[in-house]
Amino acid sequence: MTRRIRKAVFPVAGLGTRFLPATKTVPKEMLPIVDRPLIQYAVDEAIEAGCDTLVFVTNRYKHSVADYFDKAYELEDKLERAGKAEQLEMIRNPLPSHVRTVFVTQPEALGLGHAVLCARPVVGDEPFAVMLPDDLIWNAGPGALAQMADHAEKTGAGVIAVQDVPRERTSSYGIVATDGFQDRHGAIRGMVEKPNPEDAPSTLGVVGRYVLQPGIFDALESTGRGSGGEIQLTDAIASMIADGSRHDAYRFQGTRFDCGTHIGLIEATIRFALDHEKLSEPARASMQKALDELAVAEHD
Ligand code: UTP
């Protein structure tokens, strides 16, 4: 057994260009699924996995991420006076008391790998998680990160979440090559960022959950700019693997919504609305109505 992760890094300093114009003023991580921003789902998953230190790598425009986890005195006061106990409860304690937040600035958007490197002074010399909040993963049992943290604790390996993706979409993912799987995990032989379908070594795409060993920081220091001119986390992991460091691909249990794309955000909204205690019925009725109206319009 090795150390359990305690720290989770949330790189949220990207520009979010796929959601412009909304992301001109609202960070992608603050886009809501029903009534909670994407970042909240990822933070809950990290805390459930045992993390007590949440490290947000932000840029100077993203005050709203910090504000979200801060106390909102004026709003609390207003809700209290108005007797809105339910809403007050929702915002009063955004995090459990044992959890702390740390904010680190990425001065320039030089890529995911560079963003992770910015967290080095806070993470130090211990295993840690990296979570990309625009990958929303829902599971009835333990969350994806908890599953991966268990595996990392048992093996001391770096653990990378993967799922099968359509071959025509490999150029949107980091793609891993393994020698096969035992249960949910398989040792990674190689890793390449966003390959064209004809060059992809497999169709196993990396999803935004990682458990990394601290050696990744030295690897990132010596990683040059890669795909898209950015410092890629995938390249640093690939160089560690080439040097003999064990990294396992992990097929987590759960449903992943790629909320970094329009359709993924829509899918997540539909699913969470249909599962929602109060919204399920009206959401179903409204979807049926929209489909019926469309069918009539198409028929006319
Ligand atoms: P993406 O590739 O999704 O980029 O980054 P993006 O800027 O967020 O969104 P698009 O593609 O322009 O719409 C993956 C993750 O890495 C973070 C992002 O915030 C996101 O969580 N990131 C990316 C950084 O923190 N810094 C960077 O320089 C780049």
Mutation choice for ligand 1 from 18, 24, 31, 112, CB with most ligand atoms inside 8 A: 112
Amino acid 258: pLDDT: 96
Helix (H, G, I), strand (E, B) or coil at 252: coil
- Phi, psi for 29 (deg, rounded to 5): -70, -15
Centre of ligand 1 to C-alpha 93, Å, is 28
Q: Does the CB atom of residue 106 touch ligand 1 within 6 A?
A: yes
Residue listed under structure tokens 């211990």 = 126
Centre of ligand 1 to C-alpha 12, Å, is 7
Question: Domains of the chain, with CATH numbers?
Answer: 7-260 (3.90.550.10)
Q: Does the CB atom of residue 28 touch ligand 1 within 6 A?
A: yes
Rounded Cα distance, 134 and 256, in Å? 10
Which residue, 173, 41, 157, is CA-closest to 112? Answer: 173
For helices 280-299 and 262-275, give the axis angle rounded to 10 degrees. 130
Atom of ligand 1 nearest to the CA of 230: 28
Rounded Cα distance, 205 and 163, in Å? 5
pLDDT tens track, the chain, 300 positions: 688 999 999 999 988 899 999 999 899 999 999 999 999 999 999 999 999 999 999 988 778 899 999 888 899 899 989 999 888 988 888 899 999 999 999 999 999 999 999 999 999 999 999 999 999 999 999 999 999 999 999 999 999 999 999 999 999 999 999 989 999 999 999 998 899 999 999 999 999 999 999 999 999 999 878 777 889 999 999 999 999 999 999 999 999 999 999 999 999 999 999 999 999 999 999 999 999 999 988 877
Atom of ligand 1 nearest to the CA of 132: 21
Which residue, 126, 121, 98, is CA-closest to 3? Answer: 126
Residue listed under structure tokens 């050696």 = 215
Tell me which DSSP letter residue 168 carries. G
Q: Does the CB atom of residue 219 touch ligand 1 within 6 A?
A: no
Amino acid 60: pLDDT: 80
For helices 144-155 and 38-48, give the axis angle rounded to 10 degrees. 40
**Angstrom distances, CA of residue 220 to CA of 32, 216, 223, 230:** 32, 6, 5, 12
Atom of ligand 1 nearest to the CA of 11: 25
Cis peptide before 21 (omega within 30 of 0): yes
Tell me which DSSP letter residue 228 carries. G
